[in-house]
Amino acid sequence: MHHFHNIISSFLPLSPPPKDFIVHSLTLHYTTLQPPMAPKKVLLICGDFVEDSEAMVPFQALQAFGVTVDAVCPGKKSGDACRTAVHMLAPGGQTYTETRGHNFTLNATFDEVDAAIYDGLWLPGGRAPEYLAHIPSVVELVAKFVSSGKQIASICHGQLILAAAGVVEGRKATAFPGVKPVLLAAGAHWVEPETSATTVVHDNLITASTYDGHPEVIQNFVKALGGKISGSNKMILFICGDYMEDYEVMVPFQSLQALGCHVDAVCPTKKAGDTCPTAVHDFEGDQTYSEKPGHNFTLTATFDEVNVSGYDALVIPGGRSPEYLALNESVIAMVKHFMESNKPVASICHGQQILAAAGVLKVNSMAEQLGGTCPSGFHFFISAFGNI
């Protein structure tokens, strides 16, 4: 299991961090910003072939923001895994494509769930909701959350479960367009998605059309749980490349957007609007990780036009891209700028190959300098840029 919530949570001092914490040769000094919100607990209902990012992004982001998240699946127990699906709209195609994603590890047992101990419910999409909506125990559980007035977030096809539970009647909701007939039949007031990021809030229900809506949904969800996001008007730069690891770019990218940061992703020789294919890396019983195709990640800025002095921090995802990015002189110059300017740098997994090529790994322990390895040791990185 990837631990990106530790990268993100370092922006959020929910408990007092050490007075000085070393991140890539940078000493960060902290002051108390505001009291953290009371501990909250959220249930995330998964199933086989849940959409890959729609499970992992909220799972990691909410933990980073101080929320306990239990991921469960009917018929499975803590420690079991759900196979996930990577869904993308194909250019010129009439609907989305699907490939196998990561194996998502559950951390709680469905049969032991007590709805009373949770403050909110999150329903990811993908193909899983098609069968979860026909499982009585799932439908009853969802209805119980809604009737008790607890906060609900549902993405893409997750709304199929809401419709089956009979909880959308009279409520405004959006979803992936193909779900429209089901929501209308269930009595919902359909909101046509203007973009793939369209998000709708109606009372305690937050719905979005696709995973592109994650940042807005997460932000609204955290606020509904009593969190207050502030102090996050920072500029963050991601150095990307073809076949960077899918989770290692998508989770921190969308989580930082949810925090309110302006996040730019660039790649050498590419411009804003271009895409980088990503790779799904997983340990599946072999002697090293397997690789499958991931999502196409859309860049938000043009590499050759970036003024690095305008950014407050740098993130370097891992995967296979660092192998060739480490040979790019412009990339190395960018990394050196952030290091020499004493700006925070977070590097994940194979991203450290770029740091090594830039000659900036100069402490006794790489784990000490990086705040952890692949990718679980960035506990205080994000706390420099926001608070909830």
Catalytic residue numbers? 156-157, 349-350
Cα 344 off chain centre by: 20
Closest CA to 22 of 5, 4, 10, 36: 10
Contact 47, 73 (CB under 8 A): yes
Q: Which DSSP letter does residue 387 get?
A: B
Pairing of strands 189-190, 199-202: unpaired
Report the run of H or E that residue 144 belongs to, with start and end.
Answer: helix 136-147
The kind and range of the H/E element at 239 are strand 235-239
Record the tokens describing residue 200, joined without a space: 């709708």
86-92 long-range contacts (CB < 8 A, ≥24 apart) are 86/51, 86/52, 86/53, 86/246, 86/280, 86/292, 86/293, 86/294, 86/295, 87/51, 87/52, 87/126, 88/295, 88/296, 89/196
